[in-house]
Amino acid sequence: MKKIMCLICTMIGLVLTASCSSQASDTLIENYKYGIILSNQQLNGKLQLYDEEGKFLGSKKLKASGIDENGASALTGPYYVNGKWYIGACSDLKAQDFILEIDSGTLEVKKIPSNIGEMYSYTGFLIQKNRLYTFYSAPGEAPIIKSSLSDHKKINQIVIEDDSVLLHLIPYGEKLVLISDKAGKQGMKIRILDDDTFNIEKEYRIEDYSVSYDAVLKGDKLYMIPNSDENDSSTDKVIVYDLLNGSKELLELPFNDPRYIKEVDNKLYIVEQDLESDHHSIAIMGMDDHQIEDVVTFKHTVRDVVIDKDTMVLSSDDKVYVYNINNFELIKSFDIKTDDHLMFGSLLVKP
């Protein structure tokens, strides 16, 4: 009888424990505002969750390595589409033929096939109109693959065969803008592709700058952050390229090493990332006249940038800062729960 009672008590305890875990999970999902992804090239990553005030709520394991690891690849994103985040996972150790999809409401994680195969890892991707575009660069070829997000089947593919290193793929109406670098040589290429057929309609060459760190397309103007100039030195420039006539304009910045470029309400926010500095600046530029309207300097580094309504959320390796985007007054900041084995990967902000 005692054994039966002990068994019943144990079962009740397990049910209560499961119930508490479920409630805690529901509370965590309901209350989180900010997410931090930590990762490295060898170990699975994790998603940390924080509430509106920056209180740590808990974390969720992510079965992928190299998840948007800062500085390890040229992965774009994360993309937020229809209530879901799409995040790149690209390890140096093994090919990972999937994109992580995280439902912002339920935190359910899925692996979306990238259709690259197991020989190479993709180095960039784009989510657009229920389509997934993935690309990678290998010796002598650089494929771009379009797949359906609903059934994950491959729709179309093009292979660029001139030792191009593909960097960015950007929607341009019913077309796509492809930015690439020439492997081992100076200069970038800009190609305009038909989104349906993948036919290359236009091709432009930029000889004196290499590697586009980040890019923004507004109308027919493409704004790019170059990594280096013809002397292989860091730059203080933004390249503006007119996709209609192929003309180029160089905009001068008040600092070297720009890294991120964001567009909000017809203004550009260009973020400095000098890895040897303990502070970074943001240049605010009007898009009509290309004049610098303001420069804001922070006493901390910047590893990622998310604009959320009227705030700009910046992350360093170990802290998150939330600023009013109108006057850049600090609204709040909070510590990231660091991990000895993982490094900062991406910043997520729940809309």
**pLDDT exceeds 90 at position 186:** no
233/30 Cα distance (integer angstroms): 47
pLDDT tens per residue, range 28-68: 678 999 999 998 888 889 999 999 999 999 999 998 888 87
Query: Which of 1-5, 42-46, 280-284, 328-332 has the least mean pLDDT?
Result: 1-5
Rounded average pLDDT over 142-153: 94
Single pTM value for the model: 0.87
pLDDT tens per residue, range 191-216: 999 999 999 999 999 988 888 889 99
Q: Please name the residues in contact with 312: beta carbons below 8 A apart, sequence gap of 6 or more.
A: 269, 305, 306, 322, 323, 325, 328
Task: List the beta bridge partners of residue 202.
Answer: 192
pLDDT tens per residue, range 165-174: 888 999 999 9
Write down the pLDDT at residue 302: 86
Query: Which of 69-78, 174-183, 333-342 has the least mean pLDDT?
Result: 69-78
